[in-house]
Structure 1
Amino acid sequence: MKRIRSFGRRHPKKLIFLVVFLIAYYFCLPKKLFKSPTATVVESKQGALLGAMIADDGQWRFAEVDSVPYKFRTCILQFEDAYFYKHPGFNPAAIVKAVGANINAGRTVRGGSTITQQVIRLARSGKTRSYFEKGIELILATRLELSRSKDDILKLYASHAPFGGNVVGIEVAAWRYFGLRPHQLSWAESATLAVLPNAPSLIYPGKNQEKLLSKRNRLLKKLFKEKLIDRTTYDLALLEGLPQKPYQLPKAAPHLVQYLAKENKGKRIKSTVDVNLQATINAIVQKHHQNLKQNQVHNAAVLVLDVHTRKVLSYVGNTPTSKEHQKDVDMVQANRSTGSIIKPLLYSAMLDAGELLPDMLVADIPTQIAGYSPENFNENYGGAVEAKKALARSLNIPAVRLLKEYGLEKFRDQLDVFQLGGINKSADHYGLTLILGGAESNLWDLCKTYANLASTLNHFNTTSSEYFKNEFTDLILKTNQTVDFGELSTEKTVFDAGSIYLTFEAMREVNRPEGDESWQFFDSSKEIAWKTGTSFGNKDAWAIGVTADHVVGIWFGNADGEGRPNVTGVTSAAPLLFDVFDVLPQSKWFQKPLDEFVDIEVCTQSGYLTTDICPKKTISIPNKQNYVSECKYHQMVYLDRAKQFRVNSSCAQLASAVSESWFVLPPLMQFYYRSTHPTYKSLPPFRNDCINTSVSPMEFIYPKNGNRITLTKGFDGKTNELILKLAHTKPETEVYWYLDETFIGQTRNFHEIAILPKKGQHKVMVLDAYGNEMFVSIQIE
């Protein structure tokens, strides 16, 4: 310090100049050398390249490599800068030799730049080549050597060196010219790439092949002479050919790359996707696409999730179809009509609210609610069906009736918790069609919802019967991310574990479909809770399957919204669902959350809360206040001693009559229920000497009271007849029909009759052989 002070007193101007020079030298090198845009690169969790999007400037330039492979490093050092690890950023001897050679030749025939200088030149691209620019590069090179390690400088060079065309960097070059990762390159391939930055135009197919081959072989010979490779390696390397055409970069998950690029543009992302599983599912999708495109169905999507971590294991956004058929549309994120895929959410909601029991009978009859008439997919009716079987069979009419009973607005508000993209309008907008596909959502959010439900159940069984507050969270796509489930609580997050378990149990019953041949593809050895869905017009086919470990979601259809015959969740999406589950590890079934259950007694046949007069069975339900009513389908009847007729106080002493509990459905429910339940016993008729005071055994199927009906015309111009339909508890009974007090006919067994009424108000009346009568008023428009 004394010497510096003394020098400063004697030479103040020189000291100031020296300080200014040192400050300028220190700050002359930018903190970030390269500002060129980079490609978006997505890797699998194993580090394999899944796909990439080209940089904004049209160059294939990946983010900087984290290491330089040994073979390429050896080749580039021997070709460009053998003294790289010894010089301070420039090589005086090489510069002198280059200047002398160029003066003697009268033109530039040799360069003396080190790799460090070339890094600076690449960073200052676009600058005019001159001796002054060379001087600047030399100064910046020495500065770079002081601020970075030799290995870091070599990585900068390998990442930004030109390799011909729009290929920049060793990683892209290895993929484009050899279809390999850099560390997989042979000695010959590494040597080929090492000579390219010096003359990148040589790589073009069909051009200068001899010059490129000569350069490569000279480098290989040098490697052999320096004993960096042995004779056998050298001889074999000479036999290898040169690349003739560029390879395509891997496209194992192009739609995932597209999705991640939205918020990670120009970055290298290590995703959670399993490269082997992705390749397998790509092949499965392609196989199914080959079959379905025969029906002009061109698009599909698959999403596979890990329930425990919320990580995406496979992301297939579309089939390998053509641009004409929208192959670039990411159908994992596209909002489409949900069909029946959200029915399990209503089932869970009603169980959780104490408004539903699994075996409770729900009406499955022709239904009209405020002008809306839902239809089952098979256009049949079961009369009455257990709630769990209604879900398993995806029956539309029971679902609509349950939604109306539960409350459309209440259910619509609950859906906000799941953050289902596309469901963003009020309950009035959707109406009761909400449960049948009147709303739109996407595969991502639907799979996320089912994964959250499965995880809720898993966690409840592993945390001393508690819930995580942040259970309902988004999915994970990056390996450096983890889910924060939040704190534990005894309060449920959305639905209690018991309701979720019973919902999955009902969905598992789909696996045993009671002889329906359309389910023959199912492998009954797998325990999977699954649900299909089909939108109106056969535009969308869904299938989502859930196990304790995985969620698999499938969508099939056309991206342009064109519907096709036979495109259904069962025939199109479900087979693909089970093919995907076949390549996943086997999962155990969910553990029953015992602490959330309580045993109760219900009527065996109706599933409602027990009464004193019905056969009973014990079931487990979520432990909460129950709002389900007592059974209304059992009644005590009195029979004569032969049990052939009913009696009452008008014709018999009830003390001597035989009393018996009888399962009785209303006429319309009974009419359809009996066709699928041959053991159902109708009530015996009253004895002839008894006065019948019971409710009517008849019910109109169509029309309903107050209907406003417009008669249509056929192709021949004639007005079509109106078909009147009636259900009777005893179909063999004769029924007499009247229109406006005028007799129009009688029916037996099949109670249907055709009429052609005039415009205006009419009264349709029926009278059966036992004297029971009923009527409806209709308006013909």
Structure 2
Amino acid sequence: MNRTPKAFLISDGICLLLLLFFLFALPKNLFKSPTSFVVEASNGNLLSASIAKDGQWRFPVADSVPVKFKSCIIAFEDKRFYHHFGVDFLAMGRAMRQNLKAKGVVSGGSTLTMQVIRLSRKQDRTIWQKLLEMMLAFRLEFKYSKEEIIGLYAANAPFGSNVVGLESASWRYYGRDAKSLSWGEMATLAVLPNSPSLVHPGKNLAKLIKKRNDLLDKLVKLKYIDQTTANLSKLEPVPGKPLPLPQNAQHLLNRFKTERNLLNINSTRITSTLNENIQLKVSYILKRYNNRYRANDINNISALVLDARSGEVVSYVGNVYQPDDPLLQSHVDMIKASRSPGSTLKPLLYASMLNDGFILPHTLIPDIPTQIAGYSPQNYDLGYDGAIAADKALSRSLNIPAVKMLQQYKYERFYDKLKKLGIGTLNQPADHYGLSLILGGSEVTMWDLANTYMGMVRTLNHYNTYKGLYNPADYHPAVYVKQTHKGEADVQRNSFLDHASIWSTFNAMEEVMRPGDEGLWEQFSSSQRVAWKTGTSFGFRDAWAVGVTPDYVVCVWVGNADGEGRPGLVGIEAAAPVLFDIFRLLPNGKWFEPPVTKLKKIKICKQSGYKAGENCPDAVEEMVPPAGEKTASCPFHKIIHLDRTATYRVTDQCESVTSMTHKSWFILPPAMEYYYKIKNSDYKLLPPFMAGCDPTSGNVMELIYPKNGASVYIPLELDGSRGKIVLNAAHRNAGSKIYWHIDNEYVATTTNYHQLAVSPPAGKHTLTLVDENGERLVQVFTVLDKDKKKK
């Protein structure tokens, strides 16, 4: 019978539709169920995992399936898996005969490929669904390899309770990675997808053991294992109660959850850069210190370790994880939290001023009582040095010199520099922070702080690599996801901080708060060279320590997540010991190589640290950052005129010029001199003037407190009476008298130590100081009204 053209068209159309259905019946994403977030260490071992959104423990599909599981599941479910195209007709026929004979379903005959389709569709088991599964199984075999199909099965098969997939089952039942399981353990897991209800504490134990043992015997018959291995495997216990999964990087896991889209990662699993051994040891160190600090109600501690060579995160402990006590707020990732940095930004200011030609490494900085627009910084020890070298001011973390340096550098410029260096929490304009920026008046995160220091380390490390040029990528944040490809270096001639300034800063930081004054030498003794800095925020709310070597950056924070301050919560006592315990875990390498071609040799005044001027008698050559050539010459060495015996100062009114001795003398301003001479016994005061000379030197007196134009507040005493303010002045000549006047009325006379306690009324006042030679100093100050103070 001949077919008409119309019949041909209909049959061809049906065939085309069937073909299209076959081609497109399989969805692009076979499994759409949510998966657990998983963080692995750099060696592939599990660090942390979280349950999927639907309440199941379901890991993403693994790259490979253990050979033992393949052998077990193929022996148990689908002996001819590698020899069929999705449907095993021999097994199907055998199953039909067994079911007819038993007058019920005793065998399914489904291949692993068909079971993958069934797991993805979750439909009722009917004849039509079975036929559809067979067709889709054929299609699956065309699209996926056998290894991919068994991988899909291993990742999505049910293993009892809320456990889905081989990997999560291995961790939940045995507390280990699937690759490390024995034949007996793997055989136990292989029989579970067929009967997942067998895993139940205290129930079905005999049935589970029998199924496992039958499979072990089958493995012997198929020559996967020998009889001895099977016999030993039968003696192994079967799992009972599910085990908790590791929680060794819980805060990084949560960070990955929030940043996965930004990282452009499709999977919910990452192989991180974390070193498992170091991560576990750092966690142990933090727990040990946390147990000690909690006696003082200091509940939280965190640490971040970065590999400066690779730019990778080595250890990430956002907090000591204690989920059983929610009041401790251990879930808060303090590495991401914005906190006051205390003094940890001081090295960045020091480096910036070296880089921009404002100071040299040992330039003397004023350290005297200071009031700037109502702001009065205080040193931690409440003392004053008068003047101190910039590097020593950094090493001792003195606040007043830091404020004086920022006042010179300008806080607006430093604000811009911090932003360029990677401090991303400066959300207010520069004027909002002002000079308090250098004393912790802003907020930073551990992440930004550690990455900024890592950028400095990487810049110095790459001095030879880039032949003296700079790579802006050195300041890019560290990565915590293992990467195989790294971009090409795009080097430039300039950077935020030059090699020499960074090198000088790290040299100064190597002496930061070194033991001696603190009595902590034994605690910090180490053969490893570390440049480090501590910090303490106002109100003892945050204790910091950050340290660098050419290989690593370590940042430690101690405090309370809710911001509660505690006595004794200071960087040197709470954070520094943790820092050095962590450094002891890390390999000890060489120190930074000096960037010799980026250092300039210039003459430095030994006493002042300034560039040597023509009057400096003791100049030494030092290697300094190149911008050091722009710095000012020494302002403190001046030529004075003495009599022929060099005992008295003279003028041409009392000594002929030909009889004078001219000598360079180190002269500090009166206020600086007042404190400097106390701590520097070798400081030589100016000789007195010869009798009969009429000095016209001026500037012999200086008011230390209050400064000209200052506003002061006089508090009430405990008994309710009005208190007093202490006026403080310095005079160049020891033993001089100063006559004090307030609003042109004489108040008192002082000798040697010029301090005076007074209680003037609220309002503006004129303070006049007159010495016995008639030198006058006139300044004004305002006493605030208590009501205005309250406002």
TM-score by length of 2: 0.93
Task: Work out whether residues 301 and 316 of structure 1, in 8 Å CA contact, stay in contact via their aligned partners in 2.
Answer: yes
Shift of 1:771: 4.8
Q: Which residue of structure 2 aligns with residue 70 of structure 1?
A: 67
Q: Which residue of structure 2 aligns with residue 180 of structure 1?
A: 176
1:627 to 630, 636, 647: 630
Task: Work out whether residues 41 and 266 of structure 1, in 8 Å CA contact, stay in contact via their aligned partners in 2.
Answer: no
CA distance in 1, matches of 2:781, 2:466: 61
Other structure's SS at 1:302 match: strand
2:579 to 577, 599, 614: 577
Shift of 1:567: 1.2
Residues 612 and 419 (structure 1), Cα distance of their counterparts in 2 relative to 1, 3 Å cut = closer
Q: Which residue of structure 2 aligns with residue 271 of structure 1?
A: 272
Shift of 1:104: 4.4
Other structure's SS at 2:524 match: coil
CA distance in 1, matches of 2:443, 2:667: 40
Task: Work out whether residues 50 and 275 of structure 1, in 8 Å CA contact, stay in contact via their aligned partners in 2.
Answer: yes
Shift of 1:383: 0.5
Consecutive unaligned residues in structure 1, runs of 5 or more = none
Task: Work out whether residues 37 and 266 of structure 1, in 8 Å CA contact, stay in contact via their aligned partners in 2.
Answer: no
CA distance in 1, matches of 2:515, 2:681: 19
Q: Residue 427 in 1 paired to residue 424 in 2?
A: no
Aligned positions, number: 775
Shift of 1:373: 1.1
Q: Which residue of structure 2 aligns with residue 654 of structure 1?
A: 657
Residues 318 and 10 (structure 1), Cα distance of their counterparts in 2 relative to 1, 3 Å cut = closer
Q: Which residue of structure 2 aligns with residue 286 of structure 1?
A: 287
Other structure's SS at 1:337 match: coil
Residues 471 and 149 (structure 1), Cα distance of their counterparts in 2 relative to 1, 3 Å cut = closer
Task: Work out whether residues 397 and 513 of structure 2, in 8 Å CA contact, stay in contact via their aligned partners in 1.
Answer: no
Residues 673 and 130 (structure 1), Cα distance of their counterparts in 2 relative to 1, 3 Å cut = same
1:366 to 366, 369, 373: 369
Shift of 1:90: 2.5
1:331-383 CA deviation, whole Å, 9 max, x = no partner?
11111112121122222221121111111111011111111111112221110
Other structure's SS at 1:336 match: coil
Residues 441 and 7 (structure 1), Cα distance of their counterparts in 2 relative to 1, 3 Å cut = farther
Other structure's SS at 1:493 match: coil
TM-score by length of 1: 0.94
Task: Work out whether residues 321 and 331 of structure 2, in 8 Å CA contact, stay in contact via their aligned partners in 1.
Answer: no
Q: Which amino acid aligns with 1:186?
A: S
1:21 to 4, 18, 22: 18
Task: Work out whether residues 765 and 775 of structure 1, in 8 Å CA contact, stay in contact via their aligned partners in 2.
Answer: yes
Other structure's SS at 1:544 match: strand
Residues 278 and 6 (structure 1), Cα distance of their counterparts in 2 relative to 1, 3 Å cut = farther
1:165-314 counterparts in 2 under 5 A? 165-264=161-260, 266-314=267-315
CA distance in 1, matches of 2:439, 2:495: 26
Task: Work out whether residues 167 and 177 of structure 2, in 8 Å CA contact, stay in contact via their aligned partners in 1.
Answer: yes
Shift of 1:715: 2.8
1:205-255 CA deviation, whole Å, 9 max, x = no partner?
123222222222222233334443333322222221121211121211111
Q: Which amino acid aligns with 1:294?
A: A
Q: Which residue of structure 2 aligns with residue 340 of structure 1?
A: 343
Other structure's SS at 1:272 match: coil
CA distance in 2, matches of 1:597, 1:7: 95
Other structure's SS at 1:193 match: helix
1:499-521 CA deviation, whole Å, 9 max, x = no partner?
22111121123275665424553
Other structure's SS at 2:453 match: helix
Shift of 1:770: 5.0
CA distance in 2, matches of 1:63, 1:581: 35
CA distance in 1, matches of 2:776, 2:309: 62
Q: Which amino acid aligns with 2:116?
A: V
Shift of 1:158: 0.9
Consecutive unaligned residues in structure 2, runs of 5 or more = 261-265, 786-791
1:370-769 counterparts in 2 under 5 A? 370-480=373-483, 482-484=485-487, 486-489=489-492, 491-510=493-512, 512=514, 515-518=517-520, 520-523=522-525, 525-614=527-616, 615-624=618-627, 626-730=629-733, 732-769=735-772
2:85 to 88, 93, 97: 88
CA distance in 2, matches of 1:306, 1:350: 27
Q: Which residue of structure 2 aligns with residue 54 of structure 1?
A: 51
Task: Work out whether residues 701 and 726 of structure 1, in 8 Å CA contact, stay in contact via their aligned partners in 2.
Answer: yes
Shift of 1:483: 4.6
Q: Residue 142 in 1 paired to residue 138 in 2?
A: yes
Q: Which amino acid aligns with 2:93?
A: V
Q: Which amino acid aligns with 1:76?
A: I
Q: Which amino acid aligns with 1:65?
A: A
Other structure's SS at 2:505 match: helix
Task: Work out whether residues 714 and 720 of structure 1, in 8 Å CA contact, stay in contact via their aligned partners in 2.
Answer: yes
Residues 204 and 729 (structure 1), Cα distance of their counterparts in 2 relative to 1, 3 Å cut = farther
Shift of 1:623: 2.4
Task: Work out whether residues 447 and 544 of structure 1, in 8 Å CA contact, stay in contact via their aligned partners in 2.
Answer: yes
Other structure's SS at 1:289 match: helix
CA distance in 2, matches of 1:603, 1:251: 58
CA distance in 2, matches of 1:212, 1:279: 35
CA distance in 2, matches of 1:576, 1:485: 37
Residues 207 and 669 (structure 1), Cα distance of their counterparts in 2 relative to 1, 3 Å cut = same
Q: Which amino acid aligns with 2:79?
A: A
Task: Work out whether residues 470 and 485 of structure 1, in 8 Å CA contact, stay in contact via their aligned partners in 2.
Answer: no
1:176-202 CA deviation, whole Å, 9 max, x = no partner?
100011111111111111111111112
1:577-626 CA deviation, whole Å, 9 max, x = no partner?
11111111112121111221221112110112222222211112222474
Q: Which amino acid aligns with 1:499?
A: S
Q: Which amino acid aligns with 1:221?
A: D
Other structure's SS at 1:554 match: strand
Task: Work out whether residues 421 and 496 of structure 2, in 8 Å CA contact, stay in contact via their aligned partners in 1.
Answer: no
Shift of 1:696: 4.0
| Identity, % of aligned positions | 45
Task: Work out whether residues 723 and 753 of structure 1, in 8 Å CA contact, stay in contact via their aligned partners in 2.
Answer: yes
Q: Which amino acid aligns with 2:117?
A: I
Task: Work out whether residues 698 and 775 of structure 2, in 8 Å CA contact, stay in contact via their aligned partners in 1.
Answer: no
Task: Work out whether residues 468 and 485 of structure 1, in 8 Å CA contact, stay in contact via their aligned partners in 2.
Answer: no
Task: Work out whether residues 470 and 484 of structure 1, in 8 Å CA contact, stay in contact via their aligned partners in 2.
Answer: no
Task: Work out whether residues 116 and 141 of structure 1, in 8 Å CA contact, stay in contact via their aligned partners in 2.
Answer: yes
1:521-570 CA deviation, whole Å, 9 max, x = no partner?
33353222212221111111122112222111111111111111111221
CA distance in 2, matches of 1:87, 1:311: 46
CA distance in 2, matches of 1:463, 1:175: 46
Q: Which residue of structure 1 aligns with residue 782 of structure 2?
A: 779
Task: Work out whether residues 358 and 628 of structure 2, in 8 Å CA contact, stay in contact via their aligned partners in 1.
Answer: no
1:67-109 CA deviation, whole Å, 9 max, x = no partner?
2212222221222222222333223343334334434444433
Q: Which amino acid aligns with 1:130?
A: T
Residues 82 and 526 (structure 1), Cα distance of their counterparts in 2 relative to 1, 3 Å cut = same
Task: Work out whether residues 534 and 569 of structure 1, in 8 Å CA contact, stay in contact via their aligned partners in 2.
Answer: yes
Could you say what the CA RMSD is over the residues aligned between the two structures, in angstroms? Answer: 2.4
Stretch moving more, 381-390 or 82-91: 82-91
Task: Work out whether residues 422 and 451 of structure 2, in 8 Å CA contact, stay in contact via their aligned partners in 1.
Answer: no
1:124 to 121, 124, 127: 121
Task: Work out whether residues 476 and 482 of structure 1, in 8 Å CA contact, stay in contact via their aligned partners in 2.
Answer: no
CA distance in 1, matches of 2:343, 2:485: 32
Shift of 1:122: 0.3
Shift of 1:641: 4.4
CA distance in 2, matches of 1:519, 1:544: 18
CA distance in 2, matches of 1:351, 1:151: 61
CA distance in 2, matches of 1:745, 1:79: 104
1:392-443 CA deviation, whole Å, 9 max, x = no partner?
2221111111111112222212222123121122111111111111111111
Task: Work out whether residues 373 and 710 of structure 2, in 8 Å CA contact, stay in contact via their aligned partners in 1.
Answer: no
